[in-house]
Amino acid sequence: MRISIITVVRNNRNMIEDCIQSVIGQTCTDIEYIVIDGASTDGTLDIIDGYKDRISRIVSEKDKGHIFAMNKGLGLASGDVVGFLHSDDFYADNTVIEKIANSFKNNDTDSLYGDLVYVTKNNPDRIVRYWRGRDYDVKSLRWGWMPAHPTFFVRKNIYEKYGYFNTDFKISTDYENMLRFLYRYKISAQYLPETIVKMRFGGVSNRSVKNIIRKTVEDYRACRMHELGLSTVIMKNIMKLPQFRFFGI
C-alpha cells in the first residue's frame, strides 16, 4: 500500500527541514512524498533541493494560495491513501506512517485519524495543547467534535469521488472537507489512539482575533452547507478548551 504525503510550503526555511526529515526518516518503505512550493524567495527551495533524491516530486511555482497548492498536490498523488503534513509540523516518531499503512491494510476503512499535540514554536518537547481523538461516531459531528485534520488520512478514491478542497474557503477548508466526507457522505473512519503529528502552535486560524472571527464565520458557512447549525460551531469552539495545558503561550 502506497501512502502519499503532501507538504505545501512558501517561505518557511526555518521549519521546512524538520518537516522533510520526519517524512524521509519513516520506517514505511512505500511513501510517495510530494512537496509543493509556492515560489519561495527566502531560501526554502534550496533546503528542499538538498533532499531532492528522497522526495518523489517537487513543484515550485506561483499559485493562488495554499488551498490551491493542496489541490495541486492531490492531483499529483498516486498513492492509495493521502495525508498532508504542513511545513511547520512533523510526525511524532519514525513509525507513524508504517502504523497508518498497517491500519488501512487490516481495517476496511475509508479514512483514519489519530491524536495531535501542539508544541511551542522553539521547543518541540513543550506541549501546550493535546487534541485527543476518540472512536468514530458520525453523530458526534453534530456536537462540534471533529478529528484533527493534520492526522486525517483518506483513500485517494474518496477525494476523486467526493471532491478536493473547496477553494471558496480561506481558513476552514479542512473543516468543510471533513464535514463533506464524514457527515454528508458518511465515509468510514478508524481511530488510531496514538499521537501522530506534532504541530507548532500559531497557525493561520489562531494568529489573531481577526482570524479567529473569520474562522468562526467560515465554520458556520461549512455547517450550513451540510445542514448543520450554529450550535455545532459553538460546541466546536467549547470542545477545544479542555485540550489546552495552559493559556499563556
pLDDT, one tens digit per residue, over 196-221 is 999 997 654 445 678 888 999 999 99
Collect all residues with Cβ–Cβ distance below 8 Å to 249 and sequence separation of at least 6.
120, 128, 201, 202
CA distance 244 to 30: 35
The pTM of this model reads: 0.92
For 201, half-sphere exposure in the C-beta direction (CA atoms, 13 angstrom radius) is: 21
Residue 245 has pLDDT above 80, yes or no: no
**Mean pLDDT value across residues 48-72:** 96
Domain 1-90's class?
Answer: alpha beta
Kindly tell me if the per-residue pLDDT of 176 is higher than 90: yes
What's residue 205's pLDDT?
Answer: 45
Cα–Cα distance for residue pair 100/82, rounded to 1 Å? 11
In this prediction, residue 38 has a pLDDT band, given cuts at 50, 70 and 90, of: very high
Work out the percent of the chain whose per-residue pLDDT is above 90.
78
* Sign, CA torsion 242/5/66/19: positive
Do residues 36 and 69 touch, judged by C-beta distance below 8 A?
A: yes
**Residue pointed to by grid coordinates 451540510:** 226
- Give the residues across from 5 on adjacent strands: 33, 83
Domain coordinates in residue numbering, the chain: 1-90, 107-153+166-249
Taken as a whole, the chain contains a residue count of 249
Give the span between the Cα atoms of 160 and 154, in whole angstroms: 11
Instruction: Calculate the alpha carbon distances from 242 to 12, 31, 115, 245, 247 in Å.
Output: 30, 35, 14, 8, 11
- The x, y and z cell numbers of residue 211, run together, are 482570524
pLDDT per residue as tens digits for the range 44-59:
999 999 999 999 999 9
**Quick check: 153 and 143 in contact, CB under 8 A?**
no
> pLDDT value at position 19?
97
Percentage of the chain surpassing pLDDT 70? 94
Read off the pLDDT of residues 88-145 as tens digits, 9 standing for 90 and up: 999 999 999 999 999 999 999 999 999 999 999 888 888 898 899 999 999 999 999 9
Q: Mean pLDDT of all residues in the chain?
A: 92
